[in-house]
Amino acid sequence: MTDALPSPVKAEPRLPIEVCERVIEAVYNIGWILFEYVLLQDKDALYCFAELINTSPWLGSYVHTLELRGYLHVPYSPAVLFLTALRGKLTNLAELHINGFDHAERAANPLPEGEKELPFLPIHRYFPSLLTSISHIRRLDFVDVRFPSFGDFARFLSMLPNLKALVCYRISWAVLGLDPVCMAKRSSHDSRKMFLPNLARLECYDMDEPGRQRLLSALGLSLRTLWTKFPNDPPAVRIEHPRVEQEVLSVALNLRSFPYLDILGCGLAPFPQPDQTLESLRDTLVSWMASSNDGVGDLSPTQRYLYLAPALRSGFKREEYVELLRIIGPVAEAALCRSETAEGDLQDQTSGDTDDRPETDPCRAGLVVEDLGDRLEWEDWWRTAVAECFPTLLRWKRLSVFPTHTSNPGYPWQDCDLTPQDYADRQLSTVLPDTILPYPRRRKRDVLKKVIAKVIPTRRRLRQRQDAEDN
pLDDT of the residue at 56: 87
- pLDDT of res. 446: 57
pLDDT at position 346: 43
Which has more pLDDT, 158 or 298? Answer: 158
Q: How confident is the model at residue 145 (pLDDT cuts 50, 70, 90)?
A: very high
pLDDT at residue 349, rounded to an integer: 45
Confidence tier at 295 by pLDDT (50, 70, 90): very low
Q: What residues form DSSP beta bridges with 99?
A: 69, 143
State residue 439's pLDDT score.
Answer: 46
Q: DSSP letters of 148-179?
A: EEHHHHHHHHHT-TT--EEEEEEEEEEE--SP
Give the model confidence (pLDDT) of 208-221 as tens digits.
889 999 999 999 99
| pLDDT reported for residue 138 | 97
- Residue 345 · residue 359 · CB < 8 Å: yes
Position 344 pLDDT exceeds 50: no
CA distance 165 to 170: 17
User: 253 with 232: CB under 8 angstroms?
Assistant: no
> Is the per-residue pLDDT at 444 higher than 90?
no
What pLDDT shows up at residue 436? 46
More confident residue, 455 or 430: 430
- Rounded to an integer, the average pLDDT of 103-107 is 86
Alpha-carbon Rg for the chain, nearest whole angstrom, is 30
CA angle 403, 407, 413 (to 5 degrees): 55
Does position 432 have pLDDT exceeding 80, yes or no? no
Domains of the chain, by residue range, sit at 250-349+360-418, 421-471
Question: What per-residue confidence (pLDDT) applies to 440?
Answer: 46
Give me the count of residues in the chain. 471
- Of 6 and 403, the structure prediction assigns the larger pLDDT to 403
Which segment of 29-33, 61-65, 124-128, 148-152 scores lowest on mean pLDDT? 29-33
pLDDT tens, residue by residue, 227-243: 999 999 988 665 555 55
Range 452-461 average pLDDT:
50
HSE of 397, CA atoms in CB hemisphere, 13 A: 7
The predicted structure's pLDDT at residue 347:
47
Tell me the pLDDT of the chain averaged across its residues: 82
How distant is the alpha carbon of residue 176 from its chain centre? Answer: 25
Backbone CA torsion sign across 312, 313, 315, 318 = positive
Q: Which residue has the higher pLDDT, 413 or 435?
A: 413
- pLDDT (mean) for 245-270: 83
C-alpha 55: how far from chain center: 39
Average pLDDT over residues 246-255: 69
Q: Which of 14-23, 311-320, 323-332 has the lowest mean pLDDT?
A: 14-23
Helix (H, G, I), strand (E, B) or coil at 417: coil
| Confidence at residue 294, expressed as pLDDT on a 0 to 100 scale | 47
